[in-house]
Amino acid sequence: MTRLPDWRPRLVSFVAKAARRPFAWGQHDCGLFVGGAVEAMTGEDPAAGWRGRYTSFERGLLLVRREGFEDHVGWYAARFPRSRR
């Protein structure tokens, strides 16, 4: 996954739009915010398969645990290893 050449303005635009949206599980929550930010920077949404699949914290956590992760943080950590830059 590579950042697009214009990733900075794309990310700024994404954050500005996200700030106006109300929180909603499965539509606009902390985990999906990260996926949207990654999409803004790269054109690829790692959370696309999660959108619209849950409407509560408990249901979202259940889905993540079914994939073998403790929580959404673990799910993202498995996809984005730490950079030493």
Instruction: Return per-residue pLDDT of the chain as tens, 85 residues.
Output: 899 999 999 999 999 999 999 999 999 999 999 999 999 999 999 999 999 999 999 999 999 999 999 998 898 889 887 776 6
pTM: 0.84
Give the range of the structural domain holding residue 79, as residue numbers without chain letter: 32-85
CA-based torsion, 51, 35, 11, 5: positive or negative? negative
Residue 2 lies in a domain: no
Residue 4 lies in a domain: no
Task: Give the number of domains in the chain.
Answer: 1
- With a CB cutoff of 8 Å and minimum separation 6, the contacts of 60 are 25, 26, 29, 31, 50, 53, 54, 72
